[in-house]
Amino acid sequence: MRTTLISAALAAGALAVPAQAPAGYGAPQVDVEVSYDVVYQTEVVTVTAGGQPPAYTPQVKPHYGHKSKQVFTTVVQAAPPAYTPPPAPPSPPTYEQPSPPPAPAPAPAPSPSSAPSGPASGSYADVCLYHHNLHRQNHSAPALVWDDGLAATAQKIADTCVYAHNVEMDGGGYGQNIAAGVPGNNISAVITDLFYNAEEPIYAQASAQYSQNPDMSTFEQFGHFTQIVWCGTTHVGCATSSNCGTLANTGSGVEPYFTVCNYKGPGNYAGQYMQNINPGDASKNPTVYWNAS
């Protein structure tokens, strides 16, 4: 049975652009969504009406030359002292040539960065973590740690069967990526193809090849990618619900599978992309393709 995928980002109804599927596989239809917070800082200055301005005190710059105060000096001529011959000069110190220090042992050459090992097991959590960290290593971001609490909250949200962001469940405070139409046994399709492969080129263009903060007008097309590789994010927990007879807010033909990934240390703060998104390095891990089965 052909699986239809949907993916939508922050603005409701905005469609993400899926990556080209490998030869022999149908192009999935995706709808992925991501949310972010923008933090503003306001500074207030209060002026008290009717207050008297402080009295003006002229500042005298120091003058580094002759002092203005006159100084008188009295000179007293004293009798010359009796002559005392100078002492004999001391013997010159002896100098011993120091032994040369031993040559340092050559430092071992650094080993090239290797790809993360495969999933520790075939479990859902291990596959999620493996695919996140595979792409984070490409962008010199520290590896994420799986968080059971974030995963439990993600499961509650997925089981509502309402395809929309919910960053308030269990107190909130996390970032979030969501996707619909992909069963849990193919979570690699969501993380690697929909969130990473499809969106990295869009971010590269929006940020002038990682040289500046991105043009946010296309955020809904790259926000999932940037959350995955955001350097300040430390933990992840995902869940996919297969308990929905229907999935609200999705189009016809979309299978009712709802995936939610929550992130501790949320990403996608406006103005902070240069500090948190590093250019990719294909020498570490080339782009990988998802399992289309």
Residue by residue, DSSP assigns 170-202 as GG---EEEEEES--GGGHHIIIIIIIIITTHHH
Domain regions of the chain by residue span: 124-264
Q: Which of 18-27, 92-101, 143-152 has the lowest mean pLDDT?
A: 18-27
0.85 exceeded by the pTM?
no
* pLDDT attached to residue 7: 47
Alpha helix segments (H runs only) across 207-282: 223-229, 273-276
pLDDT above 50: residue 25: no
Phi, psi (5° rounding) for residue 205?
Answer: -70, -40
Banded model confidence at residue 26, pLDDT cuts 50, 70, 90: very low
* pLDDT attached to residue 284: 61
Q: Which of 48-52, 202-206, 249-253, 275-279 has the lowest mean pLDDT?
A: 48-52
Asked whether the beta carbons of 169 and 156 are under 8 A apart, the reply is yes
Does domain 124-264 bear CATH number 2.40.170.20? Answer: no
Q: What is the pLDDT of residues 128-174, one digit of tens each?
A: 999 999 999 999 999 999 999 999 999 999 999 999 999 999 999 99
**Tokens coding 79:** 């009798």
* pLDDT attached to residue 41: 40
Q: What is the pLDDT of residues 41-82, one digit of tens each?
A: 433 333 334 455 444 444 444 333 333 333 333 333 344 455
SS3 state of residue 10:
coil
